[in-house]
Amino acid sequence: MTKKKDLQRLLIFLGYAFGLTWLFFLVAVPMGSTWSEMTTYRQSFVSLGMLGPLVAHILTRLVTKEGFKLSGKDSMMLGMSFRDRKWVYFLLALILPWVILELGNAVAILLCPDLLDLNYAESLGVDTKIFLLQPLSAMVSGVIVSFAAFGEEGGWRAYMMPKLFKLFGEKKLPALIIGGIIWGLWHAPLTCIGHNYGTEYPGFPFLGILMMCISCILLGIILSFLSERSGSVWPAAFMHAVFNAHPTALIGLMNDEKIDPVKAL
């Protein structure tokens, strides 16, 4: 009976999360426009849709009468504790995005050496030292401006994943895969207007949606680990925000215009 109730609550949450967000995107995004064509103000307005999962979380608890406990078991996971070395998970949330993105850049350079251009930053009139400070800048700004990321993680990690973990019991991998696919599909409207990968790639937009699902599965595993171990959604929100801020120094030495396949991706 408990699993049936958890499934019902999860489905209600997903109905709200997809319904509210997709409806907002439908209204907020001008017909036929792409992300790159929008003004910064329009992009910021569209980004408000990222609050959908958090709103869905609150509405689901209200409708199902689950209560609004801030921390502990079956809570909204809004508490922030540094006891029992839980501060480690907050620290990891800041550092991991840098490590992941920098490793990705290093692999890209190894596979495509033409990407490396030591004079690229200078050709753009940018001081290379700025890129060296980018990781730290992204960490700080990510924590301060974690508005949209908290909107997502306040739903996915604070409500969806705990419900999926309950439904699958000890088999966490299926829960993580399904959760990642759901998260990736939720991004579909934005992927279709080029928010994530642009519009100039083979198989647009279906390949982009598939890639988004794969990315969400992989990233979701880390975010869920941080949330579960810390008992809080905040490490996931911070990591998500820092990741979005692109904490990488190598990007200033990479010129993707020198190699067409990389540019196409």
Q: What is the pLDDT of residues 151-172, one digit of tens each?
A: 999 999 999 999 999 999 988 9
- Amino acid identity of residue 192, one-letter, is C
Nearest residue to 247 via CA among 115, 86, 137, 118: 137
pLDDT at 161: 98
E strand segments, the chain: none
Radius of gyration of the chain (CA): 19
Express each pLDDT in 65-117 by its tens digit. Answer: 999 999 998 999 999 888 889 999 999 999 999 999 999 989 988 888 888 77
Distances (CA, A) of 194 to 71, 85, 152, 189: 37, 41, 19, 9
What average pLDDT is seen over the chain? 90
Can you spell out the DSSP letters for 165-207? HHHHTT-HHHHHHHHHHHHHHHTHHHHHTTTTT-S-STTTTHH
Whether the Cβ atoms of residue 155 and residue 17 lie closer than 8 Å to each other: yes
CB atoms within 10 A of CB 265: 14
Q: Looking at residues 58-62, what average pLDDT do you find?
A: 98
**DSSP state, residue 42:** H
What pTM value is reported for the model? 0.91
pLDDT at 187 over 90: yes
Query: What pLDDT, on a 0 to 100 scale, did the predictor assign at position 247?
Result: 87
> So what's the pLDDT on residue 53?
97
Q: How far apart are CA 113 and CA 238, in angstroms?
A: 33
- pLDDT attached to residue 112: 85
Which amino acid, one-letter code, is at 45?
F
Distance CA 127, CA 252 (A): 9
230-258: pLDDT as tens digits? 999 999 999 999 998 888 888 777 876 66
| Contact by Cβ (8 Å): 217, 184 | yes
pLDDT of 134 above 70: yes
DSSP class of 30: P
